[in-house]
A and B are shown apart, each in its own frame.
Chain A
Amino acid sequence: MTPEEANVVSDLRLRILQNQSQGLPPETGISKDELKKAIAFCRKDYQAAQSKSKAAGVSNPRGLAAPNVDLAALFTSVPSK
């Protein structure tokens, strides 16, 4: 995130906390465009970190892990042939 982008995001959070401290709904006065801009900054940021750490071999993305299951324990009797 560039310093300007970081400022936009931190200003957004400050306004949300201000709303909250004044008892207003947190989203008061905040446009969807501003929020979507923040999403784009965040996405760019994490994707850059993701690529960097993949290149360094430190990321650990995993899929659906093998089930921890004792198949014998799932059945109370042995099925007959």
Chain B
Amino acid sequence: MEQITPVFPPVVDSTMRSDFVACPQKFYNGYILKRALRGGSIHLVAGAAYAKGLEVIRTLVWGPEKLPLEDAIAEAIPKVWAEYGDMETPEFAQHKSPLNIVKALIAYFDKYNPETDHIQPYIKKDGYPAVEFSFTLPTQINHQDTGEPILYAGRTDMLGVYQDSLWIVDDKTSSILGTAWDRSWALRGQLTGYTFAAQQYGFKAAGAIVRGISLLRSGAFGFSEPIEYRSPWHIERWWVQLHRDLARMVACWQDKDEDHPWGYWDYNLADACTAYGGCPFAQLCRVSNPEEWVQGNYELRDWSPLDRNPLGRPQITSVFPS
């Protein structure tokens, strides 16, 4: 594996914060040492392709071009499959195949036809809908090397209007939806951060509407859209917590000695090791010689919070007959 000189990340997003809170070792491996399981993540690739499709279709339908829906979907398909790249879909994730992502987009717009959708996009002054809203905000914790504020960044799918109020609209794919899924967003800091960021950019967002689509193994799709308000106190608590977590990250980074030249990063050694299909770095924690296990099993990947697939666009490696 290529060698890097570890640095403390200048930009942090909700995934990085969530990984740090779950297990500082996970943060260390993923964002300080920039390791990822070899071959990429099917979940990130499929999610990015789906998000690309939504962005293209919404822009073409609601933007100045005002394309009919069917034409917009047709224009989106090549871009969706290009975004997906030639990653082979593992057997366990056939419901996230490139073909099923296109079917999911068709099913989404069959259910939420732009002409009758109860959530309409906010239209910007340039006539384009506010899709793929990105933000970067300075925090009050300084980076140890640059002295500049550590930045908090994110990217959400759309700024929408529902019942005359502004809302963040965040699209999610899932294997299954239900009451537990709906409730899982109630305290989610990611949504609080989106709402805060929109407000800082001058949009009085009331909260977020999470549009979930379940990609069922049967080939069918389910839909749900929990509404998540974010009160001012809720946002303030999140902002304080973000800063406490950043301060703890910096403290881990500064806790250096001969054996730990890049800081001491604590281990969860509990549920975080096995939650959601298991931590990708659990193998390294199981052995006394983790560096030897890194070779062959992990690759160097940068995490870019503002990219659709933060672990990097899949590379086209196959040679096709011309």
Interface residues of A (CB under 8 A from B): 9-10, 12-14, 16-22, 25-27, 30, 32, 35-36, 38-39, 42-43, 45-46, 48-50, 52-54, 56, 58-70, 73-74
Contacts and interface: CB of A to CB of B under 8 A. Distances in A.
Q: What secondary structure prevails in chain A residues at the interface with B?
A: helix
A24 B78 CA distance: 12
28 contacts: A16-B77, A17-B316, A18-B320, A21-B318, A27-B75, A36-B74, A39-B102, A42-B102, A42-B103, A42-B106, A46-B219, A50-B220, A50-B221, A58-B218, A59-B220, A60-B178, A60-B216, A60-B224, A62-B223, A65-B226, A65-B227, A66-B227, A67-B229, A68-B183, A68-B185, A68-B229, A69-B229, A74-B231
A16 B82 contact: yes
User: Is chain B's interface secondary structure helix, strand, loop, or mixed overall?
Assistant: mixed
Interface residues of B, number: 50
Contacts of A13: 81, 98-99
Contacts of B223: 61-62
Nearest to B214: A60
Interface in B168-188: 176-178, 182-183, 185-186
Interface string B81-109: 11001100000000000110011101100
Contacts of A68: 182-183, 185-186, 226-229
Nearest to B226: A65
A73 B233 contact: yes
Nearest to B218: A53
Given A20-B85, A69-B227, 14 more contacts: A17-B82, A18-B322, A21-B320, A35-B77, A35-B78, A39-B73, A39-B106, A42-B102, A42-B103, A53-B218, A60-B176, A62-B182, A68-B182, A68-B229
Interface of B: 70-71, 73-75, 77-79, 81-82, 85-86, 98-99, 102-104, 106-107, 110, 118, 176-178, 182-183, 185-186, 214, 216, 218-229, 231, 233-234, 316, 318-320, 322
Contacts of A16: 77-78, 81-82
Contacts of B182: 62, 65, 68
A36 B103 CA distance: 13
A3 to B, nearest CB: 14
B229 A62 contact: no
Contacts of B214: 60
A17 B81 contact: yes
Contacts of A67: 226-229
Complex A-B, nearest 7 residue pairs according to Cβ-Cβ distance, in ascending order: A49-B219, A35-B74, A26-B82, A60-B222, A26-B78, A27-B78, A62-B224
